[in-house]
Every structure is written in structure tokens, then in C-alpha cells.
């Protein structure tokens, strides 16, 4: 990964967090994190 791609990726993630906070009040991030935690638990079962 080049530095340019890393910077753009970082800016995209920060912008997504800012939009989520401004529009949804962290509810979108909370929902995504719950789904990811469920996925991790499901994958741990198959390990």
C-alpha cells in the first residue's frame, strides 16, 4: 500500500465516522460493531 492510498483510506474512514456522528449520532457505527462482534463469535465457533 502506498502512502497516497493510506492517506485517502484514512480520510475516507474519518469522513465516514464524522458523517455517522453528525447524521445518526453514532447509531450506525454501533450497529456495524454489533454485527462484527456477532461475526467474530460465529467464526470463533468454527475454529
The 3 state secondary structure assigned to the chain is CCHHHHHHHHHHHHHHHHHHHHHHCCHHHHHHHHHHHHHHHHHHHHC
**Model's pTM, two decimal places?**
0.68
**Number of folded domains in the chain?**
1
Contacts for 28 with CB less than 8 Å, ≥ 6 apart: 20
The three cell numbers of residue 11 are 480520510
CA distance 36 to 6: 23
* Contact present, 19 and 27 (Cβ < 8 Å): no
Which range of residues forms the domain containing residue 37? 3-46
What pLDDT tens digit does each residue of the chain (47 aa) get? Answer: 899 999 999 999 999 999 999 998 989 889 999 999 999 999 998 77
Amino acid at each position: 500500500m502506498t502512502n497516497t492510498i493510506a492517506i485517502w483510506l484514512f480520510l475516507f474512514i474519518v469522513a465516514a465516522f464524522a458523517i455517522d456522528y453528525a447524521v445518526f449520532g453514532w447509531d450506525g457505527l454501533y450497529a456495524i460493531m454489533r454485527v462484527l462482534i456477532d461475526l467474530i463469535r460465529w467464526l470463533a465457533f468454527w475454529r
